[in-house]
Amino acid sequence: MKKYLLPNTGNFYKANMHMHSTVSDGKLTPEEIKRVYTEKGYSIVAFTDHEILLPHNELTDENFLAITATELAFNLYHVDGGYPYIKTYHLNFFSKDANKSVISIWDPDLVFDCVKPKISEEQKKHVYKREYGAEKVNEAIAIAKKDGFLVSYNHPVWSLQDYSDYGGLKGLWGVECYNNVSERVGMPDDDRPFNDLLVQGENVFPLATDDAHTLGDCFGGFIMVRAGKLEYSAIMTALEKGDFYASTAPAFYEISVENGIVHIECSPVRSIYWSTECRVAGNVCMNEEPITSADIDIRSYLEHNKASSPWRKPFIRFRLIDAQGKIAYSRAYGLDEL
């Protein structure tokens, strides 16, 4: 019986999950952001202004959904040098409650001067001293998850981070594999941190985002969310379940499995890659014509994994690469789904 790994019911909604407005250091107002993104076919924008959780429910209508969110930093300060030399964790916190306006891990010492006048008196009652390091970040993630947030790990390359920084993170929901601003400034991300955390057994999902501060930063990375309707609770449920893929252009139309054969349908691409937690991987590459579908036999991989292993966390995931080198990332699927 065919099982759809990427849901085959509902609608696809295009979403930018990382955006800064004039509420913090962005150049576009929330209203301008809604206008330019809807003109480009987007249905969802997460407003992740720095160090402030501010709902924009007034922008939500039958064609557009504003996600309540914020981006928070955990900085490692140095005695010498300026901000370009500082290692930092940047995390986005997406509220499952559209009306939430207070986050309990708020640190007044990290609030931008332009944001300070906009901080509510209620938010000022909730102070949490954020410090650099996986242990302190994990504590903050746990608190936020309990408070109803999904948490993503942002732009590790721009953050000057490597495995020693992110390898111990626990409880993340998403990891940016692509960040348009990082790409534009010459510090491109990739899917290595996403894969590393999967190998460790963390159930994380891939993200491609804009992190836009200006109009020129927009429309580079996005996710396609599959849900029954464009409603806050339905979209947040789909996000939490991983019913989406991340992309910089290519599209997954179907990812299904039947009797150990994975079937993929997609927009025209030059390659379809699949990979696992180990050195079992492969690809389907075009000859003369672009590829729009593929059948991938994973029966031997499934047979090998019948015996459980204490040190391996089996999964399989898929990537599309088009003629321009643009990439789409599926989430990882565990043995119980295959």
The burial of 79, by beta-carbon neighbours within 10 Å (0-12 exposed, 13-18 middle, 19 or more buried), is given as: exposed
Percentage of residues of the chain with pLDDT beyond 90: 93
Domain span including residue 311: 252-337
Q: Where are the alpha helices (DSSP H) in 65-172?
A: 134-146, 163-166
Domain-ending residue, one of 214, 230, 246: 246
138 shares its domain with 67: yes
240 shares its domain with 110: yes
238 shares its domain with 264: no
Q: Which residues contact 306 (CB under 8 A, 6 or more apart)?
A: none
pLDDT for residue 79: 63
Domain-ending residue, one of 190, 221, 246: 246
CATH number of the CATH domain containing 25: 3.20.20.140
138 shares its domain with 241: yes
pLDDT for residue 83: 81
pLDDT for residue 164: 97
Cβ proximity of 137 and 107 under 8 Å: no
Distance CA 217, CA 33 (A): 12
Distance CA 265, CA 152 (A): 28
Q: 282-318: per-residue pLDDT in tens? A: 999 988 899 999 999 999 999 988 776 777 789 999 9
Domain-ending residue, one of 206, 226, 246: 246
Average pLDDT of the segment spanning 148-173: 98
160 shares its domain with 237: yes
183 shares its domain with 286: no
Q: Where are the beta strands (DSSP E) in 77-184?
A: 87-95, 149-153, 174-179
pLDDT for residue 304: 87
**Predicted confidence band of residue 70 (pLDDT cuts 50, 70, 90):** very high
Q: 251-291: per-residue pLDDT in tens? A: 999 999 999 999 999 999 999 999 999 999 999 998 889 99
66 shares its domain with 164: yes
Average pLDDT of the segment spanning 98-123: 97
Cβ proximity of 173 and 151 under 8 Å: yes
Angle at 292 between CA 291 and CA 293, to 5 degrees: 100
14 shares its domain with 121: yes
227 shares its domain with 150: yes
Distance CA 285, CA 27 (A): 42
Report CA-CA distances (Å) from 24 to 58, 95, 318.
18, 18, 36
CATH number of the CATH domain containing 285: 2.60.40
Residue 169 half-sphere exposure toward CB, CA atoms < 13 A = 31
140 shares its domain with 277: no
pLDDT for residue 287: 83
156 shares its domain with 66: yes
Does 119 score more than 90 pLDDT?
Answer: yes
Give me the number of domains the chain comprises. 2
Does 84 score more than 90 pLDDT?
Answer: no
Q: 202-249: per-residue pLDDT in tens? A: 999 999 999 999 999 999 999 999 999 999 999 999 999 999 999 999
pLDDT for residue 305: 87
Distance CA 298, CA 158 (A): 36
Distance CA 199, CA 228 (A): 31
Distance CA 327, CA 271 (A): 10
pTM: 0.97
233 shares its domain with 259: no
Cβ proximity of 213 and 182 under 8 Å: no
Q: 176-187: per-residue pLDDT in tens? A: 999 999 999 999
Average pLDDT of the segment spanning 196-206: 97
Q: Would strands 282-285 and 271-276 be described as parallel, antiparallel, or unpaired?
A: antiparallel
